[in-house]
């Protein structure tokens, strides 16, 4: 039964991304599709009102458009959070959010991270839930998707321009994110997820005590939360809360929602490249890296906690601490793997309660940040590793490396090397600061190896723009809000800037003719080498931190 719960969602995932990938290709490439008669009018109206002109941008202009638009939205979000107590749609009289938490929250949602240092049901008003959280879930997801489409145009195309960011962003929202969100919202409402502007309800319990039942526009946030691989929950318990994820079917819908578009993007890449075999090799690489993690976390949680077994507590059901009984070990293990591989960050189990080896899986997925990933950036990172693989293979045979017909030269390799180094630096450096300063140590509620893991997890999640947490780390302090805010900014925009610079460099190059000596990147040999390169670089970078944290904790179990 457990195996079926894992296999069926993966099979459905493969089946739905094929037609969805073709549709995504139509949207990103501007090809005609069945929605054009209606949505062309909608888009043209938006362009007319906002003054957007469909003019091509080079990589520098495209990046500038991303940064300026995101900065303005982030500032508006900050202001709303600071004065939410004065605004409308606040029936529960939520107070204003403090400055450092507002700073962290605005950055968290604009970067598609959705790391939450507040309890959703008591920390933000309905206006903030809709006008800040839900709104930024659309814009941050479309920003990443637009960046990925520009990157694809650059490495594939024959012109120096990468498209128009504002046109891309608009089309992605109106033609992909909004229709899918409406569809999923209706399904979630049918499963019992609330969608209302009514205030919290106060009830009398069977113990004759009063209890507030939190309500609100939950389903609309939940839909884009997963479709946009955002992850921020309406409630503090996230998708472990029965109002966010009430049934086994809603759990399946949420799983597929966060998997669908990252997988479809790989299919769309093959259609844009006009080489389905190439995209298949990238998909297989990501799939292998994903599937190899699931047995590790499942078997670790199924084995239970030996410390509890030593004191006579039954571990027949496995480690059920922090898990919902309605989901069990299998569904929780799969959800944890998917939410960190696809950099969503939503949780249906508490990661801080995972067994040490189980905790390695979400950490490893975020440290690699290439296994499908979120909206666009995960795909771009995998392509970055693909270029590195081609470069290494070229050195082995003494040939100038080429990827997709474009020669890979010193400029591209230097940029990619910088991108690879940035990710571990913004994880390990602030982790070291937190572990060596009084301000950082004050956030750690567990001592020893587990406390180290909590700290590294916090900054790994921020750097990968994931947003899930080891809840033993108190993220709502001046130190944590400031440092994780900076890490989220760097993790989001440095990656996009560097990789679009690579795309801009490759866009200006003429395609080289394929010869007998060309290293092929659409066969099984390339897949094996690419997987090896990803794992080796990841292990060399993060193995010391993993050894001092979850691996050491595992070795101490039962002693």
Model confidence at 184, pLDDT cuts 50, 70, 90, reads very high
**Cα angle at 61 between 59 and 62, to 5 degrees?**
60
Q: Which residues pair with 2 in a beta bridge?
A: none
Q: What percent of the chain has pLDDT over 90?
A: 76
Residue located via tokens 């309800």:
201
Would you say residue 558 has pLDDT above 80? Answer: no
Question: Is the Cβ–Cβ distance between 424 and 499 less than 8 Å?
Answer: no
Model confidence at 375, pLDDT cuts 50, 70, 90, reads confident
**Cα angle at 488 between 67 and 441, to 5 degrees?**
150
Q: In the prediction, which pLDDT does 517 show?
A: 66
pLDDT in tens, 508-544: 887 777 766 678 888 899 999 999 999 999 989 999 9
Cα-based distances in Å from 287 to 184, 279, 307: 25, 12, 34
d(CA 83, CA 117): 18
CB-count burial class (<10 Å; 0-12, 13-18, 19+) for 549: buried
d(CA 435, CA 393): 39
Q: In the prediction, which pLDDT does 306 show?
A: 87
Report the SS3 class of residue 195. Answer: strand
Q: In the prediction, which pLDDT does 552 show?
A: 94
Question: Is the Cβ–Cβ distance between 360 and 309 less than 8 Å?
Answer: no
CB-count burial class (<10 Å; 0-12, 13-18, 19+) for 409: middle
> Could you state, in order of their start, the residue ranges of all structural domains in the chain?
2-203+211-556
Would you say residue 492 has pLDDT above 90? Answer: yes
d(CA 89, CA 69): 26
**Cα angle at 364 between 358 and 367, to 5 degrees?**
150
d(CA 84, CA 72): 18
Would you say residue 481 has pLDDT above 90? Answer: yes
Model confidence at 189, pLDDT cuts 50, 70, 90, reads very high
d(CA 340, CA 349): 13
d(CA 442, CA 549): 18
CA 32 to chain centroid, in Å, comes to 29
User: CA 282, 26, 187, 255: dihedral to nearest 10 degrees?
Assistant: 10
Q: Is the dihedral of CA 154, 159, 164, 170 positive or negative?
A: negative
d(CA 222, CA 188): 8
d(CA 223, CA 133): 12
Model confidence at 14, pLDDT cuts 50, 70, 90, reads very high
DSSP 445-513: -S-HHHHHHHHHHHHHHHHTT-----TTB---SHHHHHHHHHHHHHHHHHHHHHHHHHHHHHHTSPPPP
Higher pLDDT, 1 or 129: 129
Model confidence at 559, pLDDT cuts 50, 70, 90, reads low
Q: Which of 23-32, 342-351, 470-479 has the lowest mean pLDDT?
A: 470-479
Phi, psi of 444 (to 5 degrees): -90, 120
Q: In the prediction, which pLDDT does 535 show?
A: 94
CA 372 to chain centroid, in Å, comes to 9
Q: 413: part of which helix (H) or strand (E)? A: helix 410-436
Q: In the prediction, which pLDDT does 464 show?
A: 94
Q: Longest Cα pair distance anywhere in the chain, in angstroms?
A: 81
3-state SS of 418-449? HHHHHHHHHHHHHHHHHHHCHHHHCCECCCHH
- Helical pair 478-507 and 377-397, crossing angle rounded to 10 deg: 50
Question: Is the Cβ–Cβ distance between 173 and 186 less than 8 Å?
Answer: no
Model confidence at 207, pLDDT cuts 50, 70, 90, reads confident
Number of H helices, E strands in the chain: 23, 4
Q: Which of 247-251, 296-300, 397-401, 406-410 has the lowest mean pLDDT?
A: 397-401
- Hey, what are 237's tokens? 């318990």
The separation between the first and the last C-alpha atoms of the chain, rounded to the nearest angstrom, is: 33
Q: 309: part of which helix (H) or strand (E)? A: helix 306-310
Average pLDDT of the chain is 92
The stretch 346-370 carries a mean pLDDT of 94
Q: In the prediction, which pLDDT does 308 show?
A: 82
Output 249-252 pairs: Cβ under 8 A, ≥24 positions apart: 249/191, 250/187, 250/188, 250/191, 250/192, 250/193, 251/327, 251/331, 251/335, 251/348, 252/9, 252/12
Question: Is the Cβ–Cβ distance between 343 and 369 less than 8 Å?
Answer: yes
Beta strands 210-213; 402-403: pairing state = unpaired
């Amino acid at each position: 039964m457990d195996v079926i719960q894992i296999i069926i969602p993966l099979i459905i995932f493969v089946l739905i991304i094929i037609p969805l990938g073709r549709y995504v290709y139509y949207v990103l490439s501007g090809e005609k599709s069945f929605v054009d008669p209606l949505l062309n009018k909608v888009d043209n109206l938006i362009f007319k009102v906002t003054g957007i002109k469909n003019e091509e941008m080079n990589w520098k202009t495209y990046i500038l458009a991303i940064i300026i638009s995101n900065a303005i939205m982030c500032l508006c979000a900050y202001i709303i959070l600071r004065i939410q107590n004065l605004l409308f749609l606040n029936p529960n009289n939520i107070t204003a959010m403090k400055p450092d938490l507002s700073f962290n929250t605005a950055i968290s949602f604009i970067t598609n991270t959705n790391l939450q240092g507040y309890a959703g049901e008591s920390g933000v008003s309905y206006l903030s839930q809709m006008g800040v959280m839900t709104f930024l879930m659309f814009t941050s997801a479309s920003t990443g998707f637009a960046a990925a489409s520009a990157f694809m145009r650059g490495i594939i195309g024959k012109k120096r321009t990468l498209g128009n960011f504002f046109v891309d962003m608009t089309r992605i929202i109106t033609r992909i994110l909004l229709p899918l969100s409406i569809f999923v919202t209706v399904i979630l409402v049918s499963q019992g997820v609330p969608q209302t502007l009514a205030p919290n309800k106060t009830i009398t319990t069977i113990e004759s005590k009063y209890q507030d039942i939190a309500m609100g526009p939950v389903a609309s946030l939940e839909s884009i939360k997963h479709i946009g691989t955002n992850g921020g929950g309406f409630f503090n318990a996230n998708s472990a809360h029965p109002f966010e994820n009430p049934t086994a079917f809603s759990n399946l819908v949420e799983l597929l929602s966060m998997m669908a578009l990252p997988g479809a993007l790989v299919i769309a890449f093959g259609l844009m490249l006009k080489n389905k075999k190439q995209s298949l090799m990238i998909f297989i690489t990501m799939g292998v890296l994903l599937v190899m993690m699931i047995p590790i976390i499942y078997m670790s949680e199924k084995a239970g906690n030996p410390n509890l077994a030593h004191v006579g507590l039954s571990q027949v059901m496995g480690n059920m601490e922090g898990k919902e009984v309605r989901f069990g070990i299998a569904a929780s293990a799969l959800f944890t793997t998917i939410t960190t591989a696809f950099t969503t960050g939503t949780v249906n189990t508490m990661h801080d309660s995972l067994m040490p080896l189980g905790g390695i899986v979400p950490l490893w997925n975020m440290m690699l940040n290439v296994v499908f990933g979120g909206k666009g950036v995960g795909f771009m990172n995998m392509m970055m590793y693909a270029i590195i693989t081609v470069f290494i293979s070229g050195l082995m045979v003494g040939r100038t490396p080429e990827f997709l017909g474009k020669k890979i030269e010193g400029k591209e390799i230097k940029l990619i090397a910088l991108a690879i180094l940035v990710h571990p630096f913004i994880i390990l450096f602030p982790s070291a600061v937190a572990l060596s300063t009084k301000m950082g140590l004050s956030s750690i509620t567990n001592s020893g190896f587990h406390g180290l893991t909590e700290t590294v997890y916090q900054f790994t999640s921020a750097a990968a723009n994931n947003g899930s947490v080891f809840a033993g780390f108190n993220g709502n302090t001046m130190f944590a809000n400031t440092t994780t805010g900076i890490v989220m900014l760097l993790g989001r925009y440095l990656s996009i800037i560097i990789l679009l610079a690579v795309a801009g460099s490759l866009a200006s190059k003429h395609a080289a003719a394929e010869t007998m000596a060309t290293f092929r990147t659409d066969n099984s040999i390339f897949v094996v080498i690419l997987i090896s390169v990803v794992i080796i670089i990841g292990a060399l970078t993060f193995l010391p931190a993993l050894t001092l944290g979850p691996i050491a904790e595992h070795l101490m179990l039962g002693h």
